[in-house]
């Protein structure tokens, strides 16, 4: 895979982390990974790739103590390196990188047919969707992380979820600027080809939509690479449903045509997607009026 081009800030940050790793773990060889914003650690037959995406995003937050954040990050890599050294055979993919763990959203109809699905840390979402913990890899690639391999590396399922919650919020952070930049009431968020749909699991994003719409929110994930959302008058289902259905039909990686809403904590089917009380009562009248 060809080397990626990092800007000056990313290159300097990568070099700073390399120096920190080399100073702390003298028995290991550390180098910049050419196909990703990451550090590659090698010792004998052991290899470990350490993603820098999350720590870079965290360090870029206002008010963050960068030296402290880097120190914690470098220290946290110790258990992974120890595990890789003890089990060098095939460790490259077997040791999850906590800094690369994110929520991945896929259609239930497809993910349940995946052979390794029962092994994954996952939970169901509204609209026929399932979220599972995945490890972001170099390029536009990812892999699901099983509970078994996580346990073998010293991670519990709650650890996987905690890292995925944190990293997903950091990775998908452009929504803040988009929501505040204009007075519009409808948006399409499509900045991550693999994980944009994981915005459905970012509480701060959902809470802000509820605030902007004063409780009136419609959203959907018709494609894995995008989330469409409307608030206030723009959340009206008669407007949003046709948009969502069309985006679903045009999707390169279709997920769900179902319109959703949120209370600021989680997503659920929009009332427009549910059978109405009037319809149910109509059927009841038909059945009740049938002759004995």
Beta bridge partners of 39: 32, 50
- Note the pLDDT tens digit of each residue in 117-157: 889 999 999 999 999 999 987 667 788 998 888 887 778 89
User: For residues 271 and 146, what is the distance between their CA atoms, to the nearest angstrom?
Assistant: 35
Whether 267 and 181 map to the same domain: the answer is yes
Whether 15 and 61 map to the same domain: the answer is yes
Domain boundary residue among 95, 126, 143?
Answer: 95
Domain boundary residue among 95, 117, 138?
Answer: 95
Whether 103 and 56 map to the same domain: the answer is no
Specify the pairing of strand 122-125 against strand 129-137.
Answer: antiparallel
Whether 268 and 179 map to the same domain: the answer is yes
Whether 76 and 17 map to the same domain: the answer is yes
In a domain? residue 291: no
- Number of structural domains found in the chain: 3
**Could you tell me what percentage of the chain is helix, strand and coil, using 3-state DSSP and rounding each to the nearest 5?**
45, 25, 30
In a domain? residue 25: yes
The angle, 0 to 180 degrees and rounded to 10, between the axes of the packed helices 8-24 and 66-76 is: 50
Whether 166 and 206 map to the same domain: the answer is no
In terms of Cα–Cα distance, which of 105, 132, 103 is closest to 256? Answer: 105
Domain boundary residue among 95, 125, 159?
Answer: 95
Give the residue numbers spanning the domain of 84: 8-95
- Note the pLDDT tens digit of each residue in 201-254: 999 999 999 999 999 999 999 999 999 999 999 999 999 999 999 999 999 999
In a domain? residue 279: no
Class of residue 90 by CB neighbours under 10 A (exposed 0-12, middle 13-18, buried 19+)? exposed
In terms of Cα–Cα distance, which of 215, 221, 220, 209 is closest to 184? Answer: 209
In a domain? residue 289: no
For the whole prediction, is pTM greater than 0.85?
Answer: no
Whether 88 and 115 map to the same domain: the answer is no
């Amino acid at each position: 895979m060809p080397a990626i081009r990092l800007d000056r800030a990313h290159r300097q940050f990568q070099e700073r982390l390399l120096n920190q790793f080399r100073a702390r773990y003298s028995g290991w060889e550390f180098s910049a990974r050419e196909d990703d914003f990451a550090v590659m650690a090698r010792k004998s037959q052991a290899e470990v790739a350490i993603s820098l995406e999350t720590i870079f995003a965290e360090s870029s937050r206002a008010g963050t103590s960068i030296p402290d954040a880097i120190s914690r990050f470098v220290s946290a890599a110790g258990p992974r390196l120890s595990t890789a050294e003890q089990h060098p055979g095939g460790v490259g993919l077997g040791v999850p990188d906590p800094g690369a763990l994110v929520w991945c959203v896929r259609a239930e109809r497809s993910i349940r047919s995946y052979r390794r699905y029962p092994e994954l840390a996952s939970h169901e979402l509204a609209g026929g969707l399932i979220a599972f913990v995945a490890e972001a890899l170099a390029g536009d690639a990812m892999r699901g992380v099983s509970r078994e391999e996580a346990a073998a590396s010293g991670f519990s399922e709650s650890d996987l979820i905690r890292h995925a919650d944190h990293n997903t919020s950091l990775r998908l952070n452009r929504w803040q600027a988009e929501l505040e930049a204009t007075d519009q009431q409808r948006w399409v968020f499509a900045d991550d080809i693999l994980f944009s749909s994981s915005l459905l699991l970012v509480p701060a994003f959902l809470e802000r939509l509820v605030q902007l719409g004063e409780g009136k929110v419609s959203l959907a994930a018709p494609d894995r690479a995008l989330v469409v959302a409307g608030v206030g008058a723009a959340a009206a289902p008669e407007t949003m449903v046709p948009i969502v259905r069309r985006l679903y039909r045009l999707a390169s990686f279709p997920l769900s045509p179902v319109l959703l809403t949120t209370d600021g904590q989680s997503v659920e089917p929009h009332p427009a997607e549910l059978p109405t009380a009037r319809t149910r009562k109509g059927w009841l009248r038909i059945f009740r009026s049938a002759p004995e």
